[in-house]
Amino acid sequence: MAYLDAYSGAFSNKEAKHLLSRTSFGATNALVTNAVSLGLNATISKLFEEKPVTNFPLKYFLDGTGNNEIIDPDAKYGETWVIAPAYPQVDTSRERTRIYRARNNSSYAWSFLQMQNAEISIQEKLTLFWHNHFVCENTNPHREFFYMHLLRENALKNFKELVKKVTLDTNMLLYLSGNQNSNTAPNENYSRELLELFTIGKGDAVGNGDYTNYTEKDVVEIAKVLTGWRVRGLNNTDALVPYFTNNRHTKGDKFLSHRFNNAIISENGENEYKDVIDVIFQQEECSKFITRQLYKWFVNAEITLEIETHIILPLAKIIRENDYEIVPALKVLLSSDHFFESTFCMIKSPIDLIFSATKSLLLTAPKTSVKDEYEFAYVLYLMATDLEQSIYHHPDVAGWKAYYQEPLFYKTWVNSYLLPKRLAYCKTLVTGGQITIDEKKYTIPPLVPVLQLTAEITGAENPNTLITTLADQLFNYGISQEQLDALKDILIPGLPDFEWTVEYTDYLANPNDIALRISVDKKLRDLIGTMVQMSEFQIM
C-alpha cells in the first residue's frame, strides 16, 4: 500500500470533488471544474493560500421599526458592531440583553456566510477544526467573535504559537476559570484541558494519578505557572486585553514530573506560560496527538495500528521537523494516495450536509438586503444547531462527539432522532416549506434555481441523462439502474421517457409559458428533493 506516496492517478471531477468536499464546505460545479483545470498540485497550493478577513459581522436589524427590532446605539443598520463598545450604554439591562442577542445572531449568520462564500480554500474548514479543538463557550458577543477571529487568523499557522495565544484569550480565560486562578485560590481547569485536550492527550492510566503522557502533579504545577492572569470588565475599553497581576502569581520554580523529564519551570512572571508550553511541546506525543485529530477531521475517525504506523507517525515527524507548522504535513496528507483512497467513509457533519446542499444546487443567500442575506444564513445556523452541531455551543469541552467518541464517531450524526431531521432539512432547502426549531416556525422559500441547474446539463431533455448527471453532482459516484428507475418514477410517475422529453423541450421553446414553467419546476424540485434525502448524499 502506498500510504503517503504522492497521488499519481487521474485528477478528474471525482477526485476534485472529494478533495474540495473534505477541505471546504461543499463544492459547486464551477469550483470542481476550476480545480480539475488547475490540477492537483496547484489546487493544493490554492487551498492553503491565506485569505485575510476584510469584512466583519453587520447589524441587520432595522432600528425601531417594529416590536422585535433592536436599538443598538453604537451600530447603524448595515454597519458592523464589532468596532462598537463591548458594553452598550443603554437604559436597561433588558435592552442590553436584546442587543447582545442581536449581535450574537449576526455573528452566527456571518460565520455561515464565510463558509458559504469560501471558494477553493481550507481556511474556514480549519477554523472550524480549531474551534472544535479549543472549545470555548460564549461569554459575550465581542469576546466570542474575537476568539473565533483569533482562530481564523491563525488557522494556517503554527500550532504551538496558537496554543500560547488561546491560553491568554479573554474568552478562554473566563470559560476555563483562568481569570480565577491565583496563588491563594489555584484553579486547575485550564491546565488540565491544556494537557488532556489541547496539546498532548491523557493516554492510559498507568498508576495512581499517572497517565501515559502526564501526571496529576503536572496539572497542579502548570496551574501554578498560569496564575495571575486577569480579565477586565466589559465596560472597560481594554475588556478584550488580558492583564497580569504579579501579586496573584505563584512565585518560585515549578517542578514537572518524569513525563516531562523532570523539567523545572523557573520563575518568569508573565512569560512563564510560554515557557511551560514550550516544554510541553518538546514531547513528541504533541505532534502525534494533533496529527490524529487532523486525520479524524479530514480523513477517517478510525485509526488502526496500520494507520498509526504508516500515516500518523510520518506526518507527526513532518510537523516536528517544521516546529509545529501544520501546513506541510497537511499538504502531504491531502496529496497522498491514502487520502484519495479514503472515500465514502465519513458521514457528513450537519454543517457539511447543509453546505453540500446549498453549493451543489447553486443555492445562495438572497442579495436583496443585508437583513435578507443574514436571516437566510441564520436559518442555516439554526438548522445545524438543531442537528446538534452548533458553533460556539459545544456539548462539552471535548467538542463534538463525532470526532472522539468511540465506537460511533461520525455515526452520532445519524441516530434515530437526528436522521429524520437531516432528511427533512435537505428536502426543504430544495422544495421550500416551513420548519420548526425550538417551537418557532421559519418559512423557507424554494430558493434552489432548479431550472438554471437543469439548463446547465447537456441533454437534460433525456430523463436518464438528467438524473445521472444530477447524481454525479450530488453524490460522488454513479447510481444503480434500480435507483435510476426509482428516481425517474419521481420525475415522471409511471410514464415513458418521452413524456419528460416533450414537456421539457416545450418549456425550452416557451420559457415564458407560466403553466409549463410551474410544471417543470415542480417536477425538478420533487426529483432533487428526493435525491438529497438519499443515503448517498449523507456521506462523503
Q: Which tens digits make up the pLDDT trace of 131-167?
A: 999 999 877 999 999 999 999 999 999 999 999 999 9
Residue 444 within a domain:
no
Residue 140 within a domain:
no
Residues 194 and 319 in one domain: yes
Question: In the predicted model, is pLDDT for residue 231 greater than 60?
Answer: yes
Q: What percent of the chain has pLDDT over 90?
A: 89
Contact 491, 527 (CB under 8 A): yes
Distance between CA atoms of residues 537 and 531, nearest Å: 7
Per-residue pLDDT tens over the stretch 330-371: 999 999 999 999 998 999 999 999 999 999 999 988 889 999
Within its chain, how far is the Cα of 277 from the centroid? 26
Distance between CA atoms of residues 72 and 98, nearest Å: 9
Identify residue 337 by its one-letter amino acid code: D
Per-residue pLDDT tens over the stretch 42-98: 999 999 999 888 899 999 987 665 666 678 888 888 999 999 999 999 988 988 998
Residue 360 within a domain:
no
> Dihedral through CA 388, CA 391, CA 397, CA 399, nearest 10?
60
Residues 326 and 459 in one domain: no
Residue 511 within a domain:
yes
Distance between CA atoms of residues 327 and 156, nearest Å: 6
Cα dihedral sign, 31-466-534-379: positive
| pLDDT (0 to 100) of residue 167 | 98
Distance between CA atoms of residues 537 and 474, nearest Å: 7
Interacting residues of 278 by C-beta distance below 8 A, sequence separation 6+: 160
Residues 333 and 457 in one domain: no
Per-residue pLDDT tens over the stretch 316-341: 999 999 999 999 999 999 999 999 99
Residue 357 within a domain:
no
Nearest to 365 by CA among 354, 538, 384, 523: 354
Residues 337 and 190 in one domain: yes
Residue 117 within a domain:
no
Domain carrying residue 467: 450-538
Residue 126 within a domain:
no
Residues 320 and 182 in one domain: yes
DSSP code, position 438: T
Residue 219 within a domain:
yes
Domain count, the chain: 3
Last residue of a domain, one of 284, 316, 343: 343
Residues 326 and 189 in one domain: yes
User: In this structure, what C-alpha cell is assigned to residue 438?
Assistant: 425550538
